[in-house]
Amino acid sequence: MTVIINARIYTGEQTIEDGFIRFDRTIEAIGPMSKFEEIAGEEMIDAQHQSLIPGMIDVHIHGGYDVDVMDGDVERLRHFSRQMLQEGVTSFLATTITQDWGNITRALETVREVVAQDDTTIVGVHLEGPFINPDYAGAQPHEHIVEPDVEQFLKWQKAAGNTIKLVTYAPERPGARAFEEAVRLTGAIPSAGHTDATYAQNQAGHVTHGTHLYNQMRALHHREPGTVGYCLLTPDVYAEIIPDGIHSAPEMVDFAYRMKGADRLIVITDAMRAKGLADGEYELGGQAVFVRDGAARLENGSLAGSVLTMDAALRNIIAYTGCSLEEAVRMTSVNAAKELQLTQKGSLSVGKDADIVLLDEALHIQETIHRGTRHRITNGKESTS
């Protein structure tokens, strides 16, 4: 048993200014220091009034650290999963890209195998494409884009061991209504993205999630609100946001925050293989990607994911919007867990997984705890204790 004392704890529901948290694999006790009682033999860590937050959740990430989900390699995917701990990420959705159907199947089978080992930070799959609008493809390879296909989706959900939790698709394409129903029946969430859907078409599809807000979706217009307008104006829609200052200007991130509030924005990275590596030439979906000055682009200039880390995203969302750390915790942990029904994740309370992040005053990661195992972070790298 381990206990952290003298911490400012952001549980996701409340803030404990001077508190303790006791845990093994799950959280055993949490509360103010006034109620703390030491247990003989337990390991005690003095947080010295630094901040504790729930482990962060990234629902849209293709890769990083020279690994891509589409590599379809179990050991490389496990390596990537471990690397995410240095960013304070204890849960994420391994995100695919539009590709040859066989490549997607292999990637999904690989995720299923890794998740089955039950020691990973991967909690499911975000199937991004191929059921999208080719006019809004962005970095999604055009040659593999298809119309929404119920039969193929069900095959992929089976290949993934029913771990597909989020599906990016275009609600305006033929067959979308039947597709949405099939996706929901498996427990996954249809998400509007890479789409030219009007406000009315999103309404018809009862869309409740928007993929990387603003990017590759029908824009806001004063006579037709588009997918952007739908995501911003519809109260029950969760909208992903990439706060890297590249995909969206900081002012537009702030605009989304003012429109949606902290309870319906979900911070993501949309990161690709080059995250954590030097500038240079990399690959995404079989395409050459050039990374320079923090931006990843195809040869034609289209953005191709990001190299954003989740801890930087946490700091950026606060800097861009002026939100509190308590609100940032909702956008980096709480909201994703609620939407995806990750009942053991997203907040700090008794019985939940001991997924905890220790932050210094500048909001840099000092330690990430994943299911009770401590990972100390030094110079951006983790070492397991």
Task: Specify the pLDDT at position 381.
Answer: 67
Note whether 51 and 325 are within 8 A (CB): yes
Per CATH, the architecture of 2-53+347-376 is what?
Roll (2.30)
98-128 pLDDT, tens digit per residue, is 999 999 999 999 999 999 998 899 999 999 9
Share of the chain above pLDDT 70, in %: 98
**DSSP secondary structure string, 74-116?**
HHHHHHHHHHGGGGTEEEEEEE--S--HHHHHHHHHHHHHHHH
Q: 3-state class of 329 per DSSP?
A: helix
Mean pLDDT of the region 133-153: 96
**DSSP secondary structure string, 268-326?**
---B-TTTTS-SEEEEETTEEEEEETTEEEETTS-EEEE---HHHHHHHHHHHH---HH
Give yes or no for residue 170 having a pLDDT over 60. yes
Query: Hey, which residues are catalytic here?
Result: 270
Q: Where does 142-291 have alpha helices with state H?
A: 150-159, 176-185, 199-204, 226-233, 250-260
Q: 3-state class of 189 per DSSP?
A: strand
The amino acid sitting at 382 is E
Q: Where are the domains of the chain?
A: 2-53+347-376, 56-340
Q: Which residue has the tokens 């954590």?
A: 276
Angle at the Cα of 57 from the Cα atoms of 54 and 63, rounded to 5 degrees: 140
Task: Specify the pLDDT at position 383.
Answer: 56
Kindly report the backbone phi and psi dihedral angles of residue 189, in degrees, each rounded to the nearest multiple of 5, phi listed first: -115, 120
Euclidean distance between CA atoms 25 and 354, whole angstroms: 6
Mean pLDDT of the region 56-73: 97
Mean pLDDT of the region 173-184: 98
Give yes or no for residue 384 having a pLDDT over 70. no
Euclidean distance between CA atoms 261 and 268, whole angstroms: 16
Q: Report the chain's mean pLDDT, rounded to a whole number.
A: 96
What token pair was written down for 141? 């390879």
316-358 pLDDT, tens digit per residue, is 999 999 999 999 999 999 999 999 999 999 999 999 999 999 9
- Asked whether the bond before 148 is cis by omega within 30 degrees of 0, the reply is no
Across 88-102, 212-226, 281-295, least confident range: 281-295
Per CATH, the architecture of 56-340 is what?
Alpha-Beta Barrel (3.20)
Chain centre to alpha carbon of residue 200: 27
Strands 280-284 and 287-292: antiparallel
Give yes or no for residue 385 having a pLDDT over 50. no
The answer to whether 2-53+347-376 and 56-340 have equal CATH topology is no
Task: Specify the pLDDT at position 33.
Answer: 98
302-321 pLDDT, tens digit per residue, is 999 999 999 999 999 999 99
235-274 pLDDT, tens digit per residue, is 999 999 999 999 999 999 999 999 999 999 999 999 999 9
